[in-house]
C-alpha cells in the first residue's frame, strides 16, 4: 500500500490527480497512514479499502453483506494543522471491538447488534453478530476489480 | 559506582574466597587472554570479538555450567583433557598489564590502553555503554518472561512474533520519547528477536507499524504482528512481494 501511495503521488505530480487501485494486498494498517503519505507531499490524499471480512448488514437487513470498509482523507491546511479523517463505515471499527474483548470490557449500545437485531454489548459474542452502519459504503472494490462485498 | 542489582541477583558463597565469584571467573578468563596477547597468539580486538559474538551470547542465555549440560558433558570432558594442560597457569599477575599501567596506559581515561582512545569522550562513552547494558538486561528479562517461555515450543514464526511484541512493549516508552528514529529501533528489535530481516520488506513493515502506533492507531500497529506471522506461515502473505502495474491510463478512457 505504501508503494501504491508513492505511485499515486508520482502520477498526480504530472496529471494533477491520480487514482491507484491495488489487488491481492493484505492488512496494511490504519487507512490514514497512506492518506498522510500523500499529505506529506502537500497533496490531498484519499484512501478507500475493502475490509477482508463482512461484518455488516445493509440498512434494515440481517445478512452480513458488507465489510467495515475504512475511509481516510487528508487535506493540507497551509499554516494550520492538516485535516485528517480516518473512519470505518461502521459506528465503531472492528479493531476497537477486538480490543474491548481483549481487555474484558463491554461495548456501548449501538456498536453491534445480534442476529435478531437486538443491541449487543458483549464483544466476546461478536462472531455471532453484526456491526452497525454509520455511512454509505463506497464502491472501492468494483473500481479496482478486487474481491468485494456480495452486494456489488 | 553504586550497585543497582535487584535482590534476585544476590549470590550465595559457601565459604570466603578472594575476589568472590564474578571477579574470580573474570580474572581466570582475562589471565588467559593477556597470555594470548603477550605470546602473540591473538590480538586484543580478536579476543574481544570472540568474547562478544561467540562466548557471551551463549553465556547470556544459559550461563557457563548449564550451557555445558546442554551441549553435552562427554565432548566437554574430552576437550578439558586436551585443553586444560595447555592453558596458562603461572600464578603471577601479567607483567604486560603491570608494565602498561606503569607507563600510564590505563585505558579510556588516559586515551590509551589495549585500544587507542585518543579523541574519545570518556563520559559519553560510559553513558552509551550504560544505556546499552540497561537495554540488553531488559531484553534478557523479556526472554525469561512467562509468555516468551510458553512460546518457546511454538513454530518459529509465532515465537518470533511474540518475542518481538514483548520486546516492543518493553521499549515502547522509550520509542515514544525518541520520535526521531522509532522505526529503526523497532526494526532492530524485530531483526534481533526474530531474524525477520530475511524477508527483505521487514524494514518497511516495521516502520509502518511503528508509525501506526505513534499516531495513536494502536489497533493497527504492532498488535497485528502475531497475525502477520500466522499469515506468513499459512502462505497468505508474501515476504518478498513483487509489484506489477496491470493497467495504467487516463481516467476518460
List residues of A with catalytic annotation.
Answer: 27
Q: Which residue of A has its CA nearest to B216?
A: A30
CA distance B250 to chain A (A): 9
pLDDT in tens, B34-62: 999 999 999 999 999 999 988 998 898 88
pLDDT in tens, B179-205: 444 454 454 445 444 544 455 577 777
Spatial distance between the Cα atoms of A141 and B127, rounded to a whole number of angstroms? 54
Contacts of A17 in chain B (CB under 8 A): 251
Tell me chain A's radius of gyration from C-alpha atoms: 17
Contacts of A98 in chain B (CB under 8 A): 219
Q: Could you tell me the maximum CA-CA distance found in chain B, to the nearest angstrom?
A: 90
Spatial distance between the Cα atoms of A132 and A92, rounded to a whole number of angstroms? 8
Q: Which of A3, A19, A29 sits opposite B212 (nearest CB)?
A: A29
Pairwise CB contact (< 8 Å): B212 & A99: no
Taking CA atoms, A62 is separated from A94, B53, B103, in Å, by 18, 61, 87
Q: Which residue of B has its CA nearest to A96?
A: B219
Q: Are the C-beta atoms of residues B224 and B210 closer than 8 Å to each other? A: no
Contacts of A23 in chain B (CB under 8 A): 246
Chain B residues contacting A via beta carbons under 8 Å: 204, 208-209, 211-212, 215, 217-221, 224, 227-228, 231, 236-237, 243, 245-246, 250-251
Pairwise CB contact (< 8 Å): B228 & A27: yes
The A residues from 97 to 126 touching B (CB cutoff 8 Å) are: 98-99
Residue stretches of chain B with pLDDT short of 50: 1-3, 153, 155-157, 159, 170-182, 184-185, 187-189, 191-193, 195-197
Pairwise CB contact (< 8 Å): B204 & A2: yes
For residue B32, which of B86, B108, B68 has the smallest C-alpha distance?
A: B86
Pairwise CB contact (< 8 Å): A27 & B224: yes
Pairwise CB contact (< 8 Å): A30 & B212: yes
Give me the domains of chain A, ranges plus CATH numbers.
Answer: 2-143 (3.30.1370.60)
pLDDT in tens, A51-81: 777 777 777 777 777 777 889 999 999 888 9
Instruction: With cut-offs at 50, 70 and 90, classify the pLDDT of residue A100.
Output: confident
Residue A45 has pLDDT above 90, yes or no: yes
Tell me chain B's radius of gyration from C-alpha atoms: 24
> Given CB atoms, is A143 within the 8 Å cutoff of chain B?
no
Q: Which of B212, B227, B237 sits opposite A33 (nearest CB)?
A: B212
* CA quadruple B216, B224, A48, A93: dihedral sign: negative
> Given CB atoms, is A87 within the 8 Å cutoff of chain B?
no
The enclosing H or E element of A67 equals strand A66-67
Beta strands in A3-140 (DSSP E): 45-48, 54-56, 66-67, 71-75, 83-87, 112-114, 119-120, 129-131
- Reading the block at residue B227, the C-alpha cell is 497475525
Spatial distance between the Cα atoms of B19 and A114, rounded to a whole number of angstroms? 70
Surface-to-core class of residue B214, CB atoms within 10 Å of its CB (0-12 exposed, 13-18 middle, 19+ buried): middle
Give me the domains of chain B, ranges plus CATH numbers.
Answer: 18-120 (1.10.1040.10), 125-234 (no CATH)
β-bridge pairing A66-67 and A54-56: antiparallel
Pairwise CB contact (< 8 Å): A29 & B217: yes
Taking CA atoms, B49 is separated from B54, B56, B251, in Å, by 8, 10, 60
CA distance A96 to chain B (A): 7
Pairwise CB contact (< 8 Å): B219 & A29: no
Q: Which residue of B has its CA nearest to A26?
A: B237
pLDDT of B165 = 57
> What pTM did the predictor assign?
0.46
Q: Are the C-beta atoms of residues B52 and B129 closer than 8 Å to each other? A: no
Name B116's bridge partners: B112
How high is the ipTM of this complex?
Answer: 0.71
CA distance B239 to chain A (A): 11
Concatenate the DSSP letters of all residues of B173-228 into one string. HHHHH-TTSHHHHHHHHHHHHH-GGGGS-HHHHHHHHHHHHHTT-GGGTGGGHHHH
For residue A1, which of A24, A32, A30, A34 has the smallest C-alpha distance?
A: A34
- Reading the block at residue B122, the C-alpha cell is 570518556
Segment A112-120 mean pLDDT: 80
Spatial distance between the Cα atoms of A42 and A38, rounded to a whole number of angstroms? 7
Higher pLDDT, A112 or A147: A112
Sequence-distant (≥ 6) Cβ neighbours of residue A68 within 8 angstroms: A51, A55, A56, A88, A89, A90, A93, A94, A131
Instruction: With cut-offs at 50, 70 and 90, classify the pLDDT of residue A122.
Output: confident
Name A90's bridge partners: A133
Compute the C-alpha angle B158/B162/B164, nearest 5°. Answer: 115
Amino acid at each position: 500500500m505504501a508503494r501504491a501511495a508513492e505511485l499515486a503521488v508520482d502520477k498526480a505530480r504530472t496529471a494533477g490527480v491520480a487514482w491507484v487501485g491495488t489487488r491481492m494486498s493484505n492488512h496494511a494498517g490504519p487507512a490514514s497512514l497512506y492518506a498522510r503519505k500523500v499529505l506529506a507531499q502537500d497533496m490531498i490524499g484519499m484512501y478507500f479499502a475493502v475490509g477482508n471480512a463482512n461484518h455488516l448488514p445493509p440498512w434494515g437487513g440481517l445478512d452480513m453483506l458488507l465489510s467495515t470498509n475504512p475511509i481516510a482523507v487528508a487535506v493540507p491546511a497551509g499554516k494550520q494543522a492538516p485535516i485528517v479523517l480516518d473512519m470505518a463505515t461502521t459506528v465503531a471499527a472492528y479493531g476497537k471491538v477486538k480490543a474491548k474483548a481483549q481487555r474484558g470490557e463491554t461495548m456501548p449500545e449501538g456498536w453491534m447488534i445480534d442476529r435478531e437485531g437486538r443491541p449487543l454489548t458483549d464483544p466476546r459474542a461478536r462472531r455471532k453478530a453484526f456491526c452497525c452502519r454509520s455511512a454509505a459504503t463506497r464502491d472501492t472494490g468494483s473500481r479496482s476489480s478486487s474481491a468485494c462485498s456480495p452486494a456489488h | 559506582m553504586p550497585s543497582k542489582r535487584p535482590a534476585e541477583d544476590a549470590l550465595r558463597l559457601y565459604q570466603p574466597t578472594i575476589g568472590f565469584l564474578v571477579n574470580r571467573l573474570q580474572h581466570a578468563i582475562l589471565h588467559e587472554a593477556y597470555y594470548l596477547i603477550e605470546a602473540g597468539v591473538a590480538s586484543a580486538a580478536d579476543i574481544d570479538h570472540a568474547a562478544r559474538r561467540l562466548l557471551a551470547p551463549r553465556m547470556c542465555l544459559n550461563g557457563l555450567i548449564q550451557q555445558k549440560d546442554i551441549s553435552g558433558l562427554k565432548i566437554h570432558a574430552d576437550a578439558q583433557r586436551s585443553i586444560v594442560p595447555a592453558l596458562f597457569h603461572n600464578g603471577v599477575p601479567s607483567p604486560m598489564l603491570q608494565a602498561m599501567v606503569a607507563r600510564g596506559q590505563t585505558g579510556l581515561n588516559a586515551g590509551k590502553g589495549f585500544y587507542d582512545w585518543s579523541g574519545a569522550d570518556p563520559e559519553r562513552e560510559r553513558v552509551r555503554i550504560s544505556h546499552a547494558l540497561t537495554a540488553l538486561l531488559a531484553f534478557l528479562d523479556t526472554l525469561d518472561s512467562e509468555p516468551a517461555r510458553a512460546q518457546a515450543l511454538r513454530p518459529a514464526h509465532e515465537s518470533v512474533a511474540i518475542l518481538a511484541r514483548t520486546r516492543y512493549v518493553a521499549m515502547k516508552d522509550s520509542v515514544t520519547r525518541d520520535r526521531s528514529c522509532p522505526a529503526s529501533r523497532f526494526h532492530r528489535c524485530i531483526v534481533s528477536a526474530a531474524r525477520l530481516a530475511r524477508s527483505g520488506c521487514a524494514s518497511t513493515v516495521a516502520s509502518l507499524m511503528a508509525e501506526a502506533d505513534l499516531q495513536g492507531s494502536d489497533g493497527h500497529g504492532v498488535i497485528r504482528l502475531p497475525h502477520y506471522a500466522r499469515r506468513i506461515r499459512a502462505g497468505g502473505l508474501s515476504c518478498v512481494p513483487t509489484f506489477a502495474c496491470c493497467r495504467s491510463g487516463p481516467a476518460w478512457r
